[in-house]
Structure 1
Amino acid sequence: MALSSRRLQPLALVALALLAGCDRGSPPATDAATAEAPRQAPAWVAALEREVEAIDAAMPGDFGVYVHRLGPPADAGGLDLGGRRAWYLSSTIKVPVAIAVLEAVDAGELSLDEEMQLKASDFVDGSGDMLQHDPGERFGIGTLLEKSLRDSDSTATDMLIRRIGEDHLNARIAAWTAGGFGQVTTIQQVRRDAYGALHPKVAGLDSRQILALRQAEAGEPRLQALAAALGVPRAELGDTSFEQVFEGYYARGLNSATLPAFGRMLERLAAGELLSPDSTALLLGHMRAITTGSRRIQAGLPPGADFAQKTGTQQQRACNVGILDPERGRDGATVVVACAEHFGELAQAEQAFQALGRALGAMPSAGG
């Protein structure tokens, strides 16, 4: 259980909204009799907070949740149970990658029809079908975007990052969120950074050698395979376990963010502030059609719920982010950012996400 040490007041989101709406040119009120009392959060906020606390208590490890509903004062509000710290995002970083790509499309700096050549250095393990293709094949930006979001194809994602540039991507994320994100890297770089802490020779492995490590089971067999690829005795990698390798990587803060920072990005996306209407619709359409979300929040939502989402999974880390009722935009869309850590079996994290989906489904509808 983690909430006891990181519980934040859900009214904080309401207070921030009220401050943002103040007229900076107005003098401060001095008549206590006419001063308005702070608006209380909608009843659904406290109910959802209780549900999330129960979910966190039932799941091994930590469960962080940020929820924010946009809209009129009677409905708007939310809670931040993320502990004011960064959470590892895994494949949910593919959302800001997609936003940056479509932002460049809107600016006329690239086209969805533009083609990129698949290079041997692009290959990285993960889901999707890009690994079945050969170097030299060409793919349109629009196709790569669809594969990255719908299938969570990491090779497609890394190609998109190669096209827009890692520095540009991180600069744009900072501009959208005003902080809260660590450096976002390619997916392949995640592997290189994690394994690179074990031996300097990792820097000399090519992408195919890194990719081949996936054939060994995660854990000690993977480290033995790494030693074999490096041509060194297993002992040269030290006595660090596979789990410790990734915990050391997570501690660096790469590809991580606070939950409110990711939430701010999704809020601006839902409000139409980041992309053109056509690009927003394209992105949300891909997020509605992902192939990796059926066992997480979506599984707990009522049938037919409109949830544009993205999932991410890595060693003892899992996330599910998205927008409920995205068509409502600033008039009632609900942003959800949820991450789990140290959960043991992935099924236990999935049960927590599903329980969150049921809790979200019990919320009153916006404007209702």
Structure 2
Amino acid sequence: MRHYGAQPGTLDRGDDRAWYLSSTIKIPVAIAVLEQVDAGTLSLDETLTLAQTDFVDGSGDMLEHKPGETFSIAALLEKSLRDSDSAATDMLIRKVGEDHLNARIRDWTGGGFGPVTTILQVRYDAYDPVHPGVAQLDNMAIVRLRNADAGEPRLQALAQELGVPRADLDADTLESVFDAYYRGDRNTATLPAFATVLDRLAAGELVSADSTRRMLDHMRAISTGDRRISAGLPPDTDFAQKTGTQLRRACNVGVIDPGRAREGATLVLACAEDFDDITQAETAFQGLGRALGDTVLDAEGG
């Protein structure tokens, strides 16, 4: 947490460790896209065509559309940020390029982020060590895994997609599969590094005023944050945020009072791990929201 204002201060309980970010990586993706819009190399009205290879499991409605349909970059940004749609996000990453995206993140932060990949690549990277045949599965086989419950049923579904016995998978549990992935550096960052992105975004240092406003408005209107930090904040708190969720991992990052930027905004970034049920993480995030309302925000208001 980093607060600007009459009583500024920083509280960091992350021990400078890198956290798996899940869908919160959609913030830097959107910034990289809007940089190119500001530079005139992309247009918000430009359309991208949905390909069969763009489909990936997750939130949002892109899986309900058909390959060949077109979407404006403006629409994909909204879907990515507000609805956390992973297919929309991967289309945007495809447009700007992973190498360019990661180079820009390094320029904004000076370090602290691991390589950011497409959401679909996360799935391949997690399952690849389990069986050599994973790399040959098409993305729709990966998407179909979502129909099985998390845990042993999903590993059985993976074996079925591969056409091999469950015993051929080098995996004791689904949790161990993802824990191994989390130990890598892909799609991770230290919370201070991510805070730098949020700080510079709110301060208008990364994209134009119009693009900053677009980003923050989308983040204010996300459809996935009602049970996390915002649920503990005082009513009507101006909170531009993004959530991320993966197996036994969850994050919630954002800026409270972003319009005040370094005059009075509060950056808040929280991640949770190894919970048995997502409601445990949500309860912890809500407690953080209440604590912020009772201390930092109340002191600033008073």
1:112-150 CA-partner distances (Å, limit 9, x unpaired): 100000000000001110000000000000000000000
Partner of 2:86: 154
**C-alpha distance in 2, partners of 1:153/1:100?**
17
Partner of 2:162: 230
| Length, aligned pairs only | 300
Cα deviation, residue 217, structure 1: 0.9
AA aligned opposite 1:113:
D
Q: 1:287 aligns with which of 216, 219, 244?
A: 219
Q: Output the TM-score relative to the length of structure 1.
A: 0.80
| Residue 304 (structure 1) aligned with residue 236 (structure 2) | yes
Give matches, 1:75-114, under 5 Å. 75-114=7-46
Contact 2:130 2:171 in 1 (8 A): no
**C-alpha distance in 2, partners of 1:341/1:80?**
17
Q: 1:257 aligns with which of 189, 193, 214?
A: 189
AA aligned opposite 1:303:
P
Partner of 1:337: 269
Larger radius of gyration: 1
AA aligned opposite 1:319:
C
**C-alpha distance in 1, partners of 2:91/2:299?**
39
SS for the counterpart of 1:116 is strand
Q: Output the TM-score relative to the length of structure 2.
A: 0.97
Q: Which runs of 5+ in 2 are unaligned?
A: none
Alpha carbons of 1:285 and 1:239: their partners in 2 closer, same or farther (altered >3 Å)? closer
Q: 1:213 aligns with which of 145, 148, 168?
A: 145
1:276-324 CA-partner distances (Å, limit 9, x unpaired): 1100000000000000000000000111000000000000000000000
Partner of 2:131: 199
Partner of 1:325: 257
Partner of 1:70: 4
**C-alpha distance in 2, partners of 1:91/1:122?**
16
| Residue 138 (structure 1) aligned with residue 70 (structure 2) | yes
AA aligned opposite 2:126:
A
1:25-83 CA-partner distances (Å, limit 9, x unpaired): xxxxxxxxxxxxxxxxxxxxxxxxxxxxxxxxxxxxxxxxxx11134xx4221111101
**C-alpha distance in 2, partners of 1:238/1:265?**
38
**C-alpha distance in 1, partners of 2:180/2:172?**
10
Alpha carbons of 1:239 and 1:334: their partners in 2 closer, same or farther (altered >3 Å)? closer
**C-alpha distance in 2, partners of 1:314/1:265?**
22
**C-alpha distance in 2, partners of 1:131/1:280?**
28
Q: 1:167 aligns with which of 77, 99, 114?
A: 99
Of residues 139-148 and 74-83 in structure 1, the stretch that sits farther from structure 2 once superposed is 74-83
Cα deviation, residue 171, structure 1: 0.6
Cα deviation, residue 367, structure 1: 7.4
Partner of 1:240: 172
**C-alpha distance in 1, partners of 2:33/2:104?**
10
| Residue 272 (structure 1) aligned with residue 175 (structure 2) | no
